[in-house]
Structure formats: structure tokens, C-alpha cells
Structure 1
């Protein structure tokens, strides 16, 4: 199936020249003279590069052959990160570049993630938007610190550092937004 200029929208996955992309920005332009066109920014699902692409009437983009599988993160051997399909017990290894630095800092052993496959080959990892992680190091709370207002840095069990309210202590489990890299709330 091919997408035409009118089918394009933000978040849509398309394939150009054998490479799968996701549309991250979309703008329909109708100039005073000439035909309308669509100006987009597309992000490669393979290497993460962002390109600008203009689509005119008659231009086509293919629907990519993508498959998402839920897999469990097992371990990092220093060079590759290993994942296992929980239904077939089949294991695959992805490089740190394929997983992405933004994902690595929130991943812990045993976590379920979604692996994106293009034409049967694993190309990227999508982690949950909210994860629960333990605080391994943070400054102690002092008398006079309020629950609202200030923030302090806290190191999590995965090595990521986020800003947390003063009342969060070492050993607390917190919810973190992995997209924004922000503290959300303390887990009861």
C-alpha cells in the first residue's frame, strides 16, 4: 500500500528508498501560486537521523514492513544488549546505537520493551513511557526543606540522574517519565 500526499500526518510511519521513517513534523502549505505541497521532517527508524522532505501531489510513500514484538531485556555485555522473546525464548542482540542512549539510561534487567523489526531485522527499541526505579543516591532531607518548591539531583539504579523533590530519600522507588527524563511521583 502506498501513501499519497493527503494521507501524511504526524506520527505516521513511511518507507522511502527501503528505509523506514516516522513523520515528526508535518506542515501543509498552500501557496498563492502553484500547487499545494506538504513539508515534513522525518526521522529514520534505523539510525535516528532527521531529514526534511517535501511531498508534492502525485508523490507516493510506501507503507513499511514493520513488526513490533514485546521482548525482555536480559543484560548488557559491554558491546551488545541482549533481549529475549518471552513466548519463543529466542534471543537477539542489539548494539548500543540501535537501542539509543536515551533508552539505555532507564533500562533495567528483566524489563519488558518493544522491539521494532523491519523486514525481519531488529532495528530499534521502545521502552515504556513511565518506569519505576529505585533511588540509589541523593542528598539527605534537612529540616526546613519543603515538599514543594526546590529540587535536588538523585541517581537511580540504572545510573540515570533526575531532579526530585527534597522529601525523596535514598531507597525510595519513584516513577520517571522516560521521554522528558522527569520525576513524576513517589511509588507508595
Structure 2
């Protein structure tokens, strides 16, 4: 059991007998009485997102999960295929189960597959990934004075803001938690 005040984005809990991934969790305090924890939960099986309010101090069961090293193989339609590295078994996850993580997946990349009772329910990415810039505006002399950045499209379709000195074809590091530019690869 985990206290609702300790819920963080990305955690898996059991609510109403089903597994949910925490998308958001914020604490709100009232003038009198106990506080409130507002959460956004996504059902792992159906993809349904619901907002749930918990009283401060409540406890919810944390889902029993196991993690296994896997390699991302390929995408076929709306399914993404992974191979576990310990027994070379292939597992398919639907696009709804993966969500925005798909913007960070490149072939042959190693990830952690998340299992609940032997069934894959999601993936955990490394903190940073290296992606190639496919499209960005050209830089001009004097651009660096103003600071800021320019929009860029990466090989996976992810759109981020990069510094002015980055050109198309450059490999960059992107933080998978925030989706922000970290540095050159």
C-alpha cells in the first residue's frame, strides 16, 4: 500500500480492481480540514483517462510489476514489437499502451518492458536518447545573441526546440522525461 501523497507521474496503482498509470498528481490544501490529492489516472488495458480525487492520508495498492530488459524491433501498423533479451521472446504492444513514448523509440534500442502477471503493459525508457535532426530552419550569423531556440523535427516525428547552432543531420540528446534538448551527441 502506498499513501496517495507519495504518488508520482509514471507510477502504477490498482484502483477499482484495475491497473492505472498515474499521469498527474497534485496536492491541494483546504483552509480547514484535510487536504486533497487530485490525480489523472490512465487505465492500462482500455486507455481510458479519468480524474480521481483522494483524501489526504488515504492509501492505494501499488501494482506488482516486474521489469525485463528488451530490445525494440519494429513497428507494424499500430503495434510495436519488442524482444526480451533473456529468452528472445517477442511481445507486441499497441500504440495506445505506449502513448507518447513512441516519439523516442528507434530500432534496436534497449528499453525495460513492464510486466504485470506475465503480461507486458508498458515500457520504461532510458533518461536520454540520441536522435537525428531531420528538419530545422537554417541558422544565420548573429542568431546566438538573442538566446532562445528554433523548432526542429527529429527522425521519430518529435518536435522540440533546439539552439540556433543545430543543423539538419546533427545527432542530439533528448531528455525522455521532459522532451527537451540536452546537448549534442
Q: How far apart are residue 112 of structure 1 and its match? A: 1.3
TM-score, L = length of structure 1:
0.79
SS at match of 2:66: strand
Equivalence for 2:112: 114
Is there any run of 5+ residues in structure 2 with no aligned partner, and where?
none
**CA contact 1:43–1:51 (8 Å) conserved in 2:** yes
1:30-84 Cα deviation digits (max 9, x unpaired): 8756xx5753415235026242132487x65333221122211100011311000
CA distance in 2, matches of 1:18, 1:115: 22
Change (3 A) 1:63 1:167: closer
SS at match of 2:96: helix
**CA contact 1:9–1:26 (8 Å) conserved in 2:** no
SS at match of 1:105: helix
Q: How many positions carry a matched residue from both structures?
A: 180
Change (3 A) 1:139 1:182: same
**Larger Cα Rg: Structure 1 or Structure 2?**
1
CA distance in 2, matches of 1:67, 1:48: 23
Once superposed, what is the RMSD of the aligned Cα atoms? 2.7
1:5-52 Cα deviation digits (max 9, x unpaired): x5751236431232123554254868756xx57534152350262421
